[in-house]
């Protein structure tokens, strides 16, 4: 019996919400959110916050969308659940077709799940089963980047490029082989961004060769980085090199677009920015359900899926795969993308957002770099703009920027990556529905937040 299961049930605290599981020192500042609309959320005290990062880059169409809510309610009344191992359902068929058409040739088949971690696991399990079924059972190795984030299941944790997780994985799960992510800001000596990206691609090839190409199942990467790298955008040359290396060695290339997909970067798939370097598999989630329903997807070529279907079939599933209500939500989200032109808006309005963030460098000396594309940016915080020196890790800069946000009406997505080994940043990725006036207001509040943090750092003698 657990230690706290004794004593008087009347005085025991029951539940506690999700935050009960978080580090005690992060629980206190969390506002209790009661409602949300558009880009804003309100807490139980009536305070308004701008959703600067769309949660963790989820709420792409904004909050309180009546079209999506109505579509889900309608679907729940007609058909709430249908198990795909027993029956087909119309929302699944319609949603898969619409998604595949948007993704384009090479991504004709759609395997749905409940989120990004499941989508990435499905991709790996699919490729593993395909390898076994086509006579390549030795393909067991996965290569990912350092840093990177692919999800929270045990298999995902082993794929993530997160050095702080290594003790957790020790003797428990086998970490994937890691290759460096092509950072563009703070580079190793004697490198510029171009030469470093070339180096990163060379290390990928050397790693595949060292593992034995016949043993390597897949290289998994985020085409445009999320929180783990602070939104790094690769060069076209890097993408072409990666594609060529994977093709040359018979390694499947998987793009994790869980965060950067769904129009965030100004194209429906981030992969569409590099049409001559398309992956074999792409995964999506977050903006796919836009917060209205848990939803993830793995998109794969018809040739592979149909071949595996003839050989063994893909054997793995979850009870909530292709849930009719989730599919109806996904369909309605896509309706809103179309009606409001959100992907094009990400491209056009993203330029203003970027300019606004760049301007912060003049008023906030701790802003070192602004990276990203479309409506997906990271702001990297530094001790010194000229030398790019990071703030001391003891400052927990990413966390502190987040906790200063609510004082200025902002909810900001950040957490330290790899214990701050690569620097500190937070994400600016508001709902794609944001207006120009709302964007200006958000930028002013962001400036006030960073200035407050600067004052704190100056008082502490760090600046």
Ligand X SMILES: Cc1ncc(COP(=O)(O)O)c(C=O)c1O
State the residues that interact with ligand X by CB under 6 A.
56, 115-117, 120, 149-152, 222, 226, 256, 258-259, 285
Q: How far is the CB of 258 from ligand X (least distance, A)?
A: 4
Q: What is the distance between the alpha carbons of residues 347 and 354, in angstroms, rounded to a whole number? A: 11
SS3 for 279? coil
With contact defined as beta carbons under 8 Å apart, do 248 and 275 qualify?
no
Cβ atoms of residues 216 and 139 within 8 Å: yes
CB of residue 128 vs ligand X: minimum separation in angstroms? 18
Spatial separation of the C-alpha atoms in residues 449 and 409, rounded to whole Å: 9
258 vs 367, which CB is nearer to ligand X?
A: 258
- The C-alpha atoms of residue 300 and residue 278 are separated, in whole angstroms, by 12
Task: Return the number of the residue (108 or 222) whose C-beta is nearest ligand X.
Answer: 222
- 56 or 250: CB nearest ligand X: 56
The closest of 70, 139, 75, 132 to 316, measured between CA atoms, is 132
Q: Which residue is nearest to ligand X (CB)?
A: 116
Task: Point out which residues pair with 109 in neighbouring strands.
Answer: 300
Minimum distance from residue 161 beta carbon to ligand X (Å): 11
Altogether, the residues listed in the chain come to a count of 463
Residue 281 CB-half CA count within 13 A? 29
Least separation in angstroms between residue 156's CB and ligand X is 7
Q: Which two tokens stand for residue 236?
A: 């076209």
Least CB distance to ligand X at residue 261 (A): 9
Measured between its terminal Cα atoms, the distance across the chain in Å is 51
Of the two residues 152 and 275, which places its CB atom closer to ligand X in the complex?
152
Q: What DSSP state is assigned to residue 176?
A: P
Nearer to ligand X, 258 or 432 (CB): 258
Minimum separation from the CB atom of position 135 to ligand X (A): 31
In this complex, which beta carbon is closest to ligand X, that of residue 378 or of residue 391?
378
């Amino acid at each position: 019996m657990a230690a706290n299961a004794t004593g008087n049930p009347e005085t025991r605290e029951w539940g506690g919400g999700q935050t009960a599981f978080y580090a005690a020192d992060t629980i206190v500042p969390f506002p209790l959110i009661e409602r949300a609309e558009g880009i804003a959320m309100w807490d139980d005290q009536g305070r308004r916050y701008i959703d600067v990062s769309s949660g963790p880059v989820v709420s792409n169409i904004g909050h309180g969308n009546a079209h999506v809510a109505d579509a889900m309610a309608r679907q729940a009344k007609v058909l709430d659940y249908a198990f795909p191992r027993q029956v087909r359902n119309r929302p699944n068929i319609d949603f898969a077709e619409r998604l595949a058409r948007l993704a384009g040739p090479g991504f004709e088949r759609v395997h749905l799940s409940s989120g990004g971690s499941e989508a990435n696991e499905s991709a790996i399990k699919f490729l593993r089963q395909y390898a076994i079924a086509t006579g390549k059972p030795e393909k067991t190795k996965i290569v990912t980047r350092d840093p990177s984030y692919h999800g929270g299941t045990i298999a995902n944790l082993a794929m993530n490029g997160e050095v702080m997780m290594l003790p957790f994985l020790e003797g428990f799960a086998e970490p994937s082989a890691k290759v460096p992510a092509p950072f563009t800001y703070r580079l190793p000596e004697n490198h510029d961004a171009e030469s470093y990206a070339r180096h990163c691609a060379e290390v990928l090839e050397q790693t595949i060769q060292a593992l034995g190409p016949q043993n390597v199942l897949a290289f998994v990467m985020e085409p445009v980085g999320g929180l783990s790298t602070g939104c790094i955008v690769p060069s076209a040359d890097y993408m072409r090199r990666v594609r060529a290396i994977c093709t040359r060695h018979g390694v499947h290339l998987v793009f994790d677009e869980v965060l950067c997909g769904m129009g965030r970067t100004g194209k429906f798939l981030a992969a569409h920015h590099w049409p001559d370097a398309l992956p074999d598999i792409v995964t999506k989630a977050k903006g796919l359900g836009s917060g209205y329903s848990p939803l993830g997807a793995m998109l794969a070529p018809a040739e592979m899926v149909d071949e595996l279907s003839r050989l063994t079939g893909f054997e793995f599933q979850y009870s909530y795969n292709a849930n009719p209500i989730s599919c109806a939500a996904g369909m309605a989200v896509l309706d809103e993308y179309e009606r409001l032109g959100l992907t094009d808006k990400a491209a056009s309005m993203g330029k203003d957002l970027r300019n606004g963030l760049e301007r912060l460098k003049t008023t906030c000396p701790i802003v070192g770099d602004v990276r990203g594309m479309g409506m997906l940016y990271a702001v990297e915080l530094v001790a010194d703009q000229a030398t790019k020196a990071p703030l001391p890790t003891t400052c927990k800069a990413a966390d502190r920027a987040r906790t200063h946000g609510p004082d200025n009406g902002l909810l900001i997505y950040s957490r330290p990556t790899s214990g701050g080994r690569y620097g500190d940043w937070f994400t600016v990725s508001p709902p794609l529905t944001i207006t120009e006036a709302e964007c200006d207001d958000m930028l002013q509040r962001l400036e006030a937040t960073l200035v407050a943090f600067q004052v704190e750092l100056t008082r502490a003698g760090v600046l």
